[in-house]
Amino acid sequence: MRNMVILTLAIGLTACTTASQPSAPSTKADLYQELGGMPGIARIVEGMLINISEDSRIAHHFGDTDIDRLNEKLIEQICVESGGPCEYTGDSMVDSHTGLDITEGDFNALVENLTDAMEVQGVPTPAQNRLLNRLAPMRGDIIYR
Ligand code: HEM
Protein backbone atom coordinates (compact mmCIF):
# COMPACT_ATOMS: atom_id res chain seq x y z
CA MET A 1 0.00 0.00 0.00
CA ARG A 2 2.79 2.40 0.98
CA ASN A 3 4.49 1.64 -2.32
CA MET A 4 1.26 2.41 -4.18
CA VAL A 5 1.05 5.83 -2.50
CA ILE A 6 4.66 6.61 -3.36
CA LEU A 7 4.08 5.47 -6.94
CA THR A 8 0.94 7.58 -7.25
CA LEU A 9 2.75 10.62 -5.85
CA ALA A 10 5.65 10.06 -8.22
CA ILE A 11 3.33 9.84 -11.23
CA GLY A 12 1.47 12.97 -10.06
CA LEU A 13 4.72 14.83 -9.65
CA THR A 14 5.94 13.81 -13.10
CA ALA A 15 2.63 14.95 -14.63
CA CYS A 16 2.88 18.32 -12.87
CA THR A 17 6.48 18.83 -13.93
CA THR A 18 5.68 17.94 -17.51
CA ALA A 19 2.64 20.21 -17.59
CA SER A 20 4.60 23.18 -16.28
CA GLN A 21 7.16 22.97 -19.09
CA PRO A 22 6.56 24.62 -22.46
CA SER A 23 5.23 21.71 -24.45
CA ALA A 24 4.51 23.04 -27.94
CA PRO A 25 7.61 23.59 -30.09
CA SER A 26 8.06 27.21 -31.23
CA THR A 27 6.62 27.90 -34.64
CA LYS A 28 8.12 29.94 -37.46
CA ALA A 29 5.84 32.89 -36.62
CA ASP A 30 7.18 32.90 -33.04
CA LEU A 31 10.63 33.53 -34.47
CA TYR A 32 9.39 36.73 -36.12
CA GLN A 33 8.18 37.91 -32.70
CA GLU A 34 11.41 36.87 -31.00
CA LEU A 35 13.37 38.96 -33.49
CA GLY A 36 11.23 41.94 -32.46
CA GLY A 37 8.91 42.06 -35.49
CA MET A 38 9.67 44.57 -38.23
CA PRO A 39 11.33 47.18 -35.96
CA GLY A 40 13.58 44.50 -34.44
CA ILE A 41 14.51 43.03 -37.83
CA ALA A 42 15.28 46.51 -39.19
CA ARG A 43 17.64 47.12 -36.23
CA ILE A 44 19.31 43.72 -36.71
CA VAL A 45 19.90 44.35 -40.44
CA GLU A 46 21.19 47.86 -39.76
CA GLY A 47 23.59 46.50 -37.13
CA MET A 48 24.74 43.74 -39.46
CA LEU A 49 25.43 46.20 -42.31
CA ILE A 50 27.42 48.45 -39.96
CA ASN A 51 29.41 45.42 -38.74
CA ILE A 52 30.07 44.38 -42.36
CA SER A 53 31.27 47.90 -43.28
CA GLU A 54 33.82 47.68 -40.45
CA ASP A 55 34.91 44.12 -41.25
CA SER A 56 38.04 44.23 -43.42
CA ARG A 57 37.56 40.54 -44.32
CA ILE A 58 34.42 41.22 -46.38
CA ALA A 59 33.70 44.99 -46.61
CA HIS A 60 35.35 45.16 -50.06
CA HIS A 61 32.60 42.96 -51.54
CA PHE A 62 30.07 45.74 -50.91
CA GLY A 63 32.00 48.60 -52.52
CA ASP A 64 29.63 48.92 -55.53
CA THR A 65 26.46 47.88 -53.73
CA ASP A 66 23.31 49.98 -53.42
CA ILE A 67 23.13 49.69 -49.62
CA ASP A 68 19.58 51.11 -49.35
CA ARG A 69 18.32 48.38 -51.67
CA LEU A 70 20.34 45.68 -49.87
CA ASN A 71 18.97 46.88 -46.54
CA GLU A 72 15.39 46.72 -47.85
CA LYS A 73 15.78 43.25 -49.42
CA LEU A 74 17.51 41.79 -46.36
CA ILE A 75 14.72 43.05 -44.09
CA GLU A 76 12.11 41.47 -46.39
CA GLN A 77 14.02 38.21 -46.56
CA ILE A 78 14.57 37.86 -42.81
CA CYS A 79 10.92 38.79 -42.24
CA VAL A 80 9.78 36.01 -44.59
CA GLU A 81 12.25 33.45 -43.21
CA SER A 82 11.09 34.11 -39.66
CA GLY A 83 7.41 33.69 -40.58
CA GLY A 84 6.53 37.38 -40.71
CA PRO A 85 3.88 39.02 -42.93
CA CYS A 86 6.19 40.04 -45.76
CA GLU A 87 7.01 39.22 -49.34
CA TYR A 88 10.58 38.92 -50.65
CA THR A 89 10.85 41.03 -53.79
CA GLY A 90 14.60 40.76 -54.38
CA ASP A 91 16.65 38.70 -56.79
CA SER A 92 17.40 35.02 -56.19
CA MET A 93 20.43 34.20 -54.07
CA VAL A 94 22.18 32.67 -57.10
CA ASP A 95 21.55 35.73 -59.29
CA SER A 96 22.57 38.28 -56.67
CA HIS A 97 25.81 36.53 -55.66
CA THR A 98 27.10 35.14 -58.97
CA GLY A 99 30.43 36.68 -59.99
CA LEU A 100 31.15 38.02 -56.50
CA ASP A 101 33.69 35.27 -55.69
CA ILE A 102 32.31 34.76 -52.20
CA THR A 103 34.20 32.11 -50.22
CA GLU A 104 33.13 29.92 -47.32
CA GLY A 105 35.23 32.19 -45.05
CA ASP A 106 33.32 35.25 -46.36
CA PHE A 107 30.04 33.49 -45.64
CA ASN A 108 31.12 32.65 -42.08
CA ALA A 109 32.24 36.26 -41.55
CA LEU A 110 28.80 37.55 -42.57
CA VAL A 111 27.12 35.04 -40.25
CA GLU A 112 29.36 36.34 -37.44
CA ASN A 113 28.33 39.94 -38.24
CA LEU A 114 24.66 38.93 -38.20
CA THR A 115 25.04 37.02 -34.94
CA ASP A 116 26.78 39.98 -33.27
CA ALA A 117 23.95 42.27 -34.42
CA MET A 118 21.33 39.90 -32.96
CA GLU A 119 23.29 39.67 -29.70
CA VAL A 120 23.35 43.48 -29.39
CA GLN A 121 19.56 43.54 -29.94
CA GLY A 122 19.10 41.01 -27.13
CA VAL A 123 17.73 38.22 -29.32
CA PRO A 124 17.77 34.99 -27.26
CA THR A 125 20.41 32.47 -28.40
CA PRO A 126 17.88 29.76 -29.46
CA ALA A 127 16.11 32.31 -31.68
CA GLN A 128 19.47 33.39 -33.14
CA ASN A 129 20.20 29.76 -34.00
CA ARG A 130 16.78 29.26 -35.54
CA LEU A 131 17.29 32.20 -37.91
CA LEU A 132 20.79 30.99 -38.81
CA ASN A 133 19.37 27.52 -39.50
CA ARG A 134 16.84 29.07 -41.89
CA LEU A 135 19.60 30.92 -43.77
CA ALA A 136 22.17 28.09 -43.78
CA PRO A 137 20.63 26.20 -46.75
CA MET A 138 21.23 29.32 -48.92
CA ARG A 139 24.98 28.85 -48.53
CA GLY A 140 25.32 26.70 -51.65
CA ASP A 141 23.57 29.37 -53.75
CA ILE A 142 25.91 32.09 -52.47
CA ILE A 143 29.48 30.78 -52.24
CA TYR A 144 31.86 29.95 -55.11
CA ARG A 145 29.49 31.29 -57.80
C1 HEM B 1 22.99 33.84 -45.56
C2 HEM B 1 23.79 34.71 -46.15
C3 HEM B 1 23.33 35.77 -47.11
C4 HEM B 1 22.07 36.24 -47.35
C5 HEM B 1 20.76 35.81 -46.72
C6 HEM B 1 22.20 37.27 -48.36
C7 HEM B 1 21.15 38.01 -48.86
C8 HEM B 1 21.26 38.96 -49.84
C9 HEM B 1 20.17 39.70 -50.41
C10 HEM B 1 18.72 39.59 -49.98
C11 HEM B 1 20.66 40.52 -51.36
C12 HEM B 1 19.88 41.53 -52.22
C13 HEM B 1 19.39 40.93 -53.52
C14 HEM B 1 18.79 41.99 -54.41
O15 HEM B 1 19.38 43.07 -54.55
O16 HEM B 1 17.70 41.75 -54.97
C17 HEM B 1 22.10 40.31 -51.39
C18 HEM B 1 22.97 40.98 -52.19
C19 HEM B 1 24.33 41.00 -52.00
N20 HEM B 1 25.04 40.16 -51.19
FE21 HEM B 1 24.29 38.74 -50.00
N22 HEM B 1 23.52 37.40 -48.70
C23 HEM B 1 24.23 36.52 -47.94
C24 HEM B 1 25.60 36.35 -47.96
C25 HEM B 1 26.47 37.19 -48.56
C26 HEM B 1 27.92 37.18 -48.38
C27 HEM B 1 28.67 36.17 -47.50
C28 HEM B 1 28.41 38.21 -49.09
C29 HEM B 1 29.84 38.66 -49.24
C30 HEM B 1 30.70 38.61 -48.26
C31 HEM B 1 27.30 38.86 -49.76
C32 HEM B 1 27.41 39.92 -50.60
C33 HEM B 1 26.36 40.51 -51.26
C34 HEM B 1 26.51 41.64 -52.17
C35 HEM B 1 27.82 42.35 -52.52
C36 HEM B 1 25.23 41.94 -52.64
C37 HEM B 1 24.83 43.05 -53.61
C38 HEM B 1 24.96 42.57 -55.01
C39 HEM B 1 24.63 43.71 -55.96
O40 HEM B 1 25.07 44.83 -55.72
O41 HEM B 1 23.89 43.47 -56.92
N42 HEM B 1 26.14 38.22 -49.41
N43 HEM B 1 22.42 39.36 -50.47
Tens digit of each residue's pLDDT (9 = 90 or more) over 20-79: 444 456 677 799 999 999 999 999 999 999 999 999 999 999 999 999 999 999 999 999
CATH code for the domain in which residue 101 is found: 1.10.490.10
Is residue 65 within 6 Å of ligand 1 at its C-beta?
yes
* Distance in angstroms (rounded) separating the CA atoms of residues 83 and 42: 15
- Of residues 102 and 5, more confidence is placed in 102
* Domain-embedded: residue 119: yes
- 60 annotated ligand binder: no
* Domain-embedded: residue 47: yes
> Is a pLDDT exceeding 80 seen at residue 112?
yes
Q: Which are the contacts of 142, defined by CB distance < 8 A and separation ≥ 6?
A: 93, 97, 102, 107
Ligand 1: centre distance to CA 6 (Å): 61
* Domain-embedded: residue 14: no
Q: What is the pLDDT of residue 25?
A: 61
Specify the amino acid at residue 131: L
* Domain-embedded: residue 16: no
Domain that holds residue 37: 27-142
How many domains in the chain?
A: 1
Check residue 63 and give left, alpha or beta (phi > 0: left; psi -120 to 50: alpha).
Answer: alpha
3-state SS assignment for residue 15? helix
Closest approach atom of ligand 1 to CA 100: 35
Specify the amino acid at residue 66: D
pLDDT exceeding 90 applies to what percent of the chain? 80
